[in-house]
Amino acid sequence: MGYVKTGILMAAMTALFLAMGYLIGGSAGALIAFVVAAAMNLYAWWNSDKAVLRMHNARPVDAYTAPELQQIVMELARNADLPPPAVYVIDSDQPNAFATGRNPDNAAVAVSTGLMQRLSRDEVAAVVAHELAHIKNYDTLIMTVTATFAGAIAMLANFAMFFRGGDRRANPIAMIAMMILAPMAAGLVQMAVSRSREYEADRIGAEICGHPLWLADALGKIQTYAARIDNDTAERNPASAHMFIINPLHAHARDKLFSTHPATENRIAALEKLAQSMGQTGRARPATAPSGGAQPGPWG
């Protein structure tokens, strides 16, 4: 159902783009706007991994600098039948993670120091499995396609008055409405696609790690911490929020129209239902609390 819903939403985005071109009436102008938007998004897609990792000051790690994290990624990549992605760590107290890259051969998984410090090994493994599911599903490609259409629609809306400015039959109120509503509709479809991909990544990620409840526990903890711990880099770059396993911003607590993520409680409920169908009831092993009172994961 996740793939069907994504296909329907992307078809809606395509239809919206075509409708915009028809309403403007200038096929040449629509074609130019689409080519420019496609070129911009193609460049962003080709360089997305480097740009996003640099944006969040992610540093590469390997078997020497982060052996247990590297081992988790390697084992789960084998389970997912994927080439091992590059592994990065983000210096952020907020537990979170994201995947990036244009395809499985050019992918990276980034986790925050807060994730490794506050979650157990099982929960970290489940989060990594979720991100590998995004890579396996080519979700970065899907989101790039929707971003291309959203960008093209926004450009068409901005050019609408220019294309039709010499047409006295054009209704200025209709033009203004189109300039406002069309990009908003495109953004809503783009966010809906993002939410749909999160549900699918939860399901496949649970299959990769073999324990849906590990991921359910991880999501609950990340949501709790993310609600009270700022991610300053994400706040400065809100356009990257959809990439994280849990929204790193503090604006969306539930399934809202403008949210890039489904409600965490809905995701947990779906994972618990999946675990029940697999005959599993045990929760993830808790992290061992050291004598200092903090609660790091298995890396400290």
Q: Please report which confidence band the pLDDT of residue 235 belongs to, taking 50, 70 and 90 as the band edges.
A: confident
Phi-psi region of 156 (alpha: psi -120 to 50; beta: other; left: phi over 0): alpha
Please state, rounded to an integer, the average pLDDT across all residues of the chain. 77
Catalytic residues: 131
pTM of the model: 0.75
Among 5-14, 25-34, 209-218, 226-235, which range has the highest average pLDDT? 209-218
Average pLDDT over every residue of 44-61: 83
Q: Which residues pair with 108 in a beta bridge?
A: 86, 100
DSSP 84: P
Average pLDDT over every residue of 97-121: 93
Q: Please report which confidence band the pLDDT of residue 186 belongs to, taking 50, 70 and 90 as the band edges.
A: low
Which of 139, 266, 287, 263 lies closest to 214, judged by CA? 287
Of 126-130, 151-155, 233-237, the least confident: 151-155
Tens of pLDDT along 129-165?
A: 999 999 998 887 776 666 666 666 666 666 665 655 4
Given this model, what pLDDT does residue 275 score?
Answer: 92
Share of the chain above pLDDT 90, in %: 37
* Alpha-carbon gap, residue 272 to 258, rounded angstroms: 26
| Residue 260 phi, psi dihedral angles, 5° rounding | -85, -10
